[in-house]
Structure 1
Amino acid sequence: MTMFFTCARYLTQAGIGAIALFLALQVRADGMIPDTSVVIVHEADGEAAVSVTNSDASLALLHVTIEDIPEDKEALVFVTPPLARVEASTTQLVRFILQTEKPLLTQRLKRVIFEGIPQGKPAPESGHARVGVTVRQNLPLILHPKGLAPNRTPWTDLQWSLEGGKLNVRNDTPYVVRLAQEVQLLPSAGQAMLPKTYVLPGEHISVSAPEGAATHVRFQPATVYGFAVPHYEAPIKP
């Protein structure tokens, strides 16, 4: 799970002595915690729901936004509520509703951001400064077509080739494949770097590769929920 941190500073100045300033700093991590590492909306259901817990000790606003990836800007899903007041240690249900005019043919990838905005923070004690840290969680959002069977190992169907100093990977499947960016070439032990951590359905990616004989690639796949699995070796086809 990828997390981005936003810091909001709450500072109170104590006395400044003639020689030095003594300031005690308290740091507290707050945040909205979803009950999943990836949001999957099944077309057959039309929507999905995620429970988000306010782990802060005080009221906070939950702000949920959906972001397009650069390769797919089509508006396919909306969230409700996009903004909600969530009391300390309570849970808010967030719904993701599919809105498509045509049936989905492949899995589609978006991103969803859960952000907690602290409200009504008490004033820090005299002589102390407090830094409030809110956790901004950025998770994958996958739209799954109706009738498409689950595939727990879609990376096994990636097609790899090597030509003219370029390593090519092609995804002819209807599944989004998640993997680490670093790829090893075997047996030459050279390395190549993919530009991102996913390969979309129908996508072809070409990157520079070191010179040398290579018959296989070795890479680190991830499950649909983002958990790393053992390295996988795939043949490089002519």
Structure 2
Amino acid sequence: MILSKGASRLSLYLGTLAFLLCGHVLADGMVPDTSVIIVNEADGEASVTVTNTDASLALLHVTLEDIPEDKEPLLFVTPPLARVDPSKSQLVRFILQTSNPLTTQRLKRVIFEGMPQDRVAPEAGHARVGVTVRQNLPVIIHPKGLAQNRTPWTGLSWRLEKDQLSVHNPTPYVVRLAQELLLLPGNGSALLPRTYVLPGETLSVTATGSAATTVRLQPATVYGFAVPHYEAPISS
């Protein structure tokens, strides 16, 4: 199916909107007080407050997940399980465990899951089905001595050869951005496989618009907040 120019741009807008809203929509259940966990190597740990917004007791289950590109265990979380009364909060600590100094930012994910009271302590003789609500957030581990960078996407380099668009991240920062890209001039487009580019990584995707000289992307801050779109030059 071939989309018209207007439909293509509408699709880009909707995809970008979904990306930017992800992780910022208020929900019932266990709600952390941040949209991203930042663990500074200089501190060795970070803490997050998670509040039970339900009207009943629930069990907080915290699970760390590796991204497919980085399986090295760098963190442990405590407590992984905790009972939390309604409207009460639980402090969760993320503790760094590495013997070698970090040279780049690293990316992990964490799931905060609230199990309702019926699943924590079901009534005898009654079979109940509880509904869990999950918050899946990124965890960024920041190396000691590395300066903060509010615009890491400006360090990406873009290259277009025939119908292949590649993006390279030569920086030590994790770059977060929407998957949808516009190629200018014209109405070219490309779709990244995910919403982040890791330090030292190169991603290549099929693109339309072989005469493009600029790529328009929708970056996000380290906390996932929207910023104005950014246009970067393309080399060939």
TM-score, length basis structure 2: 0.84
Per the TM alignment, residue 134 of structure 1 is displaced from its structure 2 partner at its CA by 3.1
Letter in 1 for 2:141: L
How many Å separate the matches in 2 of 1:111 and 1:90? 24
Residue pair 2:183, 2:214 contacting (<8 A) in 1 also: yes
Which residue number in structure 2 is paired with residue 13 of structure 1? Answer: none
The answer for the alignment partner of 2:159 in structure 1 is 161
CA contact (8 A) 1:30 1:133 kept: no
Residues 35-90 of structure 1: per-residue CA shift (max 9 Å, x gap): 00000000000000000000011100000000000000000000000000000000
Matched residue, 1:173? 171
Structure 2 residue aligned with 1:110? 108
TM-score normalised to structure 1 length: 0.83
Residues 1:135 and 1:2: Cα distance change in structure 2 (over 3 Å): farther
Q: Offset of 1:228 from its aligned partner?
A: 1.4
Q: Which residue of 2 aligns with 1:209?
A: 207
Counterpart of 1:66 in structure 2 is: 64
Q: Which residue of 2 aligns with 1:219?
A: 217
| Aligned residue type for 1:42 | N
* Deviation, structure 1 residue 211: 4.3
Residue of structure 2 equivalent to 1:187:
185
Q: Following TM superposition, by how much is the alpha carbon of 1:133 offset from its aligned partner in structure 2, in angstroms?
A: 4.2
How much has 1:188 moved relative to structure 2? Answer: 2.0
Query: Which has the bigger relative contact order, CA under 8 A and spacing at least 6?
Result: 1
Structure 2 equivalent of residue 24 of structure 1: none
1:39 is matched with 37
Structure with a larger share of its residues in helix: 2
Deviation at 1:135, TM superposition (A): 1.9
Unaligned runs of 5+ in 2: 1-20, 123-127
Q: 1:57 aligns with which of 43, 55, 58?
A: 55
Please tell me whether the aligned partners of residues 171 and 204 of structure 1 are also in contact (alpha carbons under 8 angstroms): yes
Amino acid at match of 1:207: V
How far did 1:209 drift?
Answer: 1.1
Query: Is the 2:179–2:194 Cα contact (8 Å) retained in structure 1?
Result: yes
| Structure 2 Cα separation of the partners of residues 211 and 157 of structure 1 | 23
State the identity %: 74
Count of aligned pairs: 207
Report the aligned-residue RMSD: 1.8
Q: Letter of the aligned partner of 2:175 in structure 1?
A: V
**Corresponding residue number in structure 1 for 2:196:** 198
2-structure distance, mates of 1:183, 1:164: 16
Q: What CA distance in whole angstroms lies between the structure 2 residues aligned with 1:154 and 1:35?
A: 24
Give the Å deviation of 1:131.
8.3
Kindly provide the amino acid, as one letter, of the partner of residue 99 in structure 2.
E
Distance in 1, Cα, partners of 2:93 & 2:142: 16
Structure holding more strand per residue: 1
Per the alignment, in what secondary structure is the counterpart of residue 154 of structure 2? helix
Q: Distance between the aligned counterparts of 2:229 and 2:209, measured in 1?
A: 23
